[in-house]
Amino acid sequence: MAFSMGGGGGYSSDINMTPMIDILLVLLIIFMVIVPTVPKGLDALVPQPPKDPTKQQTPTDRTIVVQVLSKPGQREPAYKINETDYLKAQLLPKLTEIYANRAERVMFVRGDDDVNFAYVAEVIDIGKAANVDHIGLMTPKIQLGQ
């Protein structure tokens, strides 16, 4: 900062930095408060395609895939756990039974293209209620790789 001595009485062309720094600090505080309140998306675990596409992967008995299938002419979808049909009310008890003694709590959810995502989200909620740690979504690209 420069001070002018004397009785010149003219205008100074120097920029006063104090208000700019005050504005900068206020903006910094605003952004620090806003960032933690930004909504976080759904954590999704997606299975990776095999590195060698010539090898056919066989699903193990440890892999749990819950399918949400659309039924023509009906509003409610059908549910399967590893190719076994279940009603929606039976999913929670069955998944709780499956994951009761497992150290590895991973489940994959596969939904048909015609199924509303709300039904897939309900299956994810049921999986969380059954104490599943990681829930992955199977995409058509991953399904073709199998």
Residue 84 phi, psi (nearest 5): -110, 125
**Mean predicted confidence (pLDDT) in 90-116:** 88
When mean pLDDT is compared across 15-29, 49-63, 132-146, the lowest value belongs to 49-63
**Mean predicted confidence (pLDDT) in 98-102:** 86
- In this prediction, residue 46 has a pLDDT band, given cuts at 50, 70 and 90, of low
Given a contact cutoff of 8 angstroms between Cβ atoms, the answer to whether 57 and 48 are in contact is no
- In this prediction, residue 5 has a pLDDT band, given cuts at 50, 70 and 90, of low
Euclidean distance between CA atoms 108 and 127, whole angstroms: 10
Residue 57 phi, psi (nearest 5): -85, 135
CA-closest candidate to residue 79, choices 63, 94, 91, 68: 68
Q: Which domains does the chain have, with CATH numbers?
A: 65-145 (3.30.420)
Across all residues in the chain, what is the average pLDDT? 79
What pLDDT score was predicted for residue 18?
Answer: 85
What pLDDT score was predicted for residue 55?
Answer: 56
Q: Are strands 84-86 and 65-69 parallel, antiparallel or unpaired?
A: unpaired
pTM metric for this prediction: 0.57
Report the phi/psi class of residue 33: left, alpha or beta, with left for phi > 0 and alpha for psi in -120 to 50.
Answer: alpha
CB atoms within 10 A of CB 91: 20
**Mean predicted confidence (pLDDT) in 44-62:** 60
| Residue 44 predicted with pLDDT over 50 | yes
When mean pLDDT is compared across 30-34, 57-61, 99-103, the lowest value belongs to 57-61
CB atoms within 10 A of CB 135: 22
